[in-house]
Amino acid sequence: MKRIVRMAAAVVLTAGMTTVAAGTAHACSCAPATEEQLLARADHVFQGRVLEKVVEAPQKVRYRVAVAEERKGDVPDEVGVVTYDNGGMCGVDLAVGKDYLIYATGDSSDGKVDTNLCSGTRQENAAPPSCRH
């Protein structure tokens, strides 16, 4: 009987250590926002076509975007839009060749701005994102 108890304790201890070592998964969750709130939080809002997707760094991508119309802020005619490479980290997945309304933050003087799932970025003429991922 003691042997069974020791084996059970070893299984529980091992399972607990495996859970700690594996870490906790994180999911993106955004507070609901109106179009006015999204606009107020953004440094830049512009329409543009995605020309290219480039891996920027571990877990980051940069989309090269040709700007068609600025609605807020000042960005170059072609700007890099940087985001995480997965939705769990609030990254935005943009398709090359598609047009988007991009809500971004950051200083565009280096030719780059940042966006995420909570910013409001979406395909042109689409409804605002639900912000629950």
The pTM (predicted TM-score) of the whole model is 0.75
How many helices and strands, by DSSP H and E, does the chain display? 2, 6
Q: What is the pLDDT of residue 10?
A: 45
CA distance 8 to 31: 43
| Distance between CA atoms of residues 26 and 41, nearest Å | 23
Residue pLDDT tens, the chain, 133 long: 555 545 444 433 344 433 334 444 557 888 889 999 999 999 999 999 999 999 988 899 999 999 999 999 999 999 999 999 988 899 999 999 999 999 999 999 999 999 999 999 999 877 665 544 4
What ranges do the domains of the chain cover? 35-123
- 35-123 placed in CATH 2.60.120.620: no
